Amino acid sequence: MSGAASKDASRSPAPRVRDYYDRNTASFLRWGQGAKQRVIHRAVWGPGVHTRAQAFAWVHARIARELPTPREGALRLLDLGCGVGASLLALAAPGRTLEGITASPRQAESARVELRAQAGAEVHVGDFCKAARSASDVDLAWAIESFVHGRDPDAFFDHVATRLRPGARFVLVDDCLGRAPRSRAEALLLQRFRRGWRVSSLLRPEALVHLAARHGLRACSDERWTPWLELGRPRDRAIRLLVRGLGGLKLRHPRWGNLEGGDALQSCLRRGLLEYRCLVFEKEPA
């Protein structure tokens, strides 16, 4: 790790998100579906996937498809919302330098441990809606299930556009708004998801495309990944019973908000209120 990796860019200006991950990451790594792989994003059972390990690796492989042709000098990769560094580690290779940004100091510490063998890797604690540097030096950037936590979507895309080289690509994997709620119960489901998972930026895919275009990012593809998610596993059904049984108690345990939000997310995805999407953008020449 470089010397810069040991210094936090700033204290995260989003304390709700920072505290959420500081308090829950250890639990995610111990009990989450990606515990064995030290991955905290969702498994995607895309084409050719037969095992859970492959389902996590499939997401990383999809991002890697957007890598540019190797050139003279190292390719710079940027993970906006890098968590514990699993995605950076998966895409690490000779001739690549790695940079991650997370709101959580505890996640940053874990990511630095994971990346300790990667020369020049940097992990910053900060707000990915604010550019830590102004140079357009990034050859590939991505954000996996982190965009929704940002408080300013316009500033987020401005940061991405600022950091990317002309012709470089950005991959966004996250939940998007699907159809509008048809009842008060459905509106409450969305509210529970937002509250439980500390969600601030939840947009329709077409709104994301429009917003990115304002910052010179051309949409290349939009893939609907919802059919490839695991919904309604035995564990998910057990959590639903727990949430319904104890929901009225307003528990304050740090894991409770995650369980409640995750249960609402499952219902929203099954009903089409939310969609899990992968959108790819390319920075146009100046």
pLDDT tens digits, the chain, 286 residues: what are they? 543 343 443 444 468 899 989 988 988 888 787 878 889 999 999 999 999 999 999 999 999 999 998 877 889 999 999 999 999 999 999 999 999 999 999 999 999 999 999 988 999 999 888 766 667 899 999 999 999 999 999 999 999 999 999 999 999 999 999 999 999 999 999 999 999 999 999 999 999 999 999 999 999 999 999 999 999 887 777 777 777 767 655 656 666 777 888 999 999 999 999 999 999 999 998 7
In tens, the pLDDT along 256-282 reads 777 888 999 999 999 999 999 999 999
> pLDDT tens digits, residue range 95-113?
999 999 999 999 999 999 9
CA atoms within 13 A on the CB side of 228: 22
The pLDDT of residue 253 is 61
Structure tokens at 179: 């159809």
- Residue 169 forms beta bridges with which residues? 140, 282
Residue 223, beta-bridge partner list: 278
Q: Are strands 217-224 and 274-283 parallel, antiparallel or unpaired?
A: antiparallel
Residue bearing tokens 């593809």: 221
User: How far is it, in rounded angstroms, from Cα 236 to Cα 239?
Assistant: 5
Residues in the chain: 286
pLDDT score of 255: 66
Yes or no: domain 3-176+200-231+274-283 corresponds to CATH 3.40.50.150: yes
Task: Please state the pTM of the whole predicted model.
Answer: 0.91
